[in-house]
Amino acid sequence: MKKIIIVTAIIIVIASLSYFFYQNEFIDDCAKEGETPTFLDLTTGKEVPDGKYCCDGLKAIGPKTPQTEADRGLCSKVSGSLGICRPCGDGICDSNYEDNCNCPEDCK
């Protein structure tokens, strides 16, 4: 009976460690704040098989719109730019990176 308990405990420990290392590997395989996501090849427009999406809690936002255009409500996406991963949607408008065009959730 003790052998069964010991073997079961070892299996649980191994499974837990495997899950832990798998999760950390997955988490490290995403674009962090300030990094550019690489899930799309900008030259072909096709998805990159091993590309990185923004980590949880982050969103890819494009560059800020020139202030004169943003003030007039003229928002335009910069062609060929995925921008960077930022915590857009956290309720804080970071004026260094976010504006009413690329992150309207935070910058109204």
Question: pLDDT tens-digit profile of 45-65?
Answer: 777 777 888 899 999 888 887
For residues 16 and 10, give the distance between their C-alpha atoms in angstroms, rounded to a whole number. 10
For residues 40 and 53, give the distance between their C-alpha atoms in angstroms, rounded to a whole number. 9
Q: Which residue has the tokens 């949880």?
A: 56
Tokens of 49: 């098989």
Mean pLDDT of 4-26: 57
The domain locations on the chain are: 1-30, 32-108
Q: Where are the beta strands (DSSP E) in the chain?
A: 59-61, 84-86
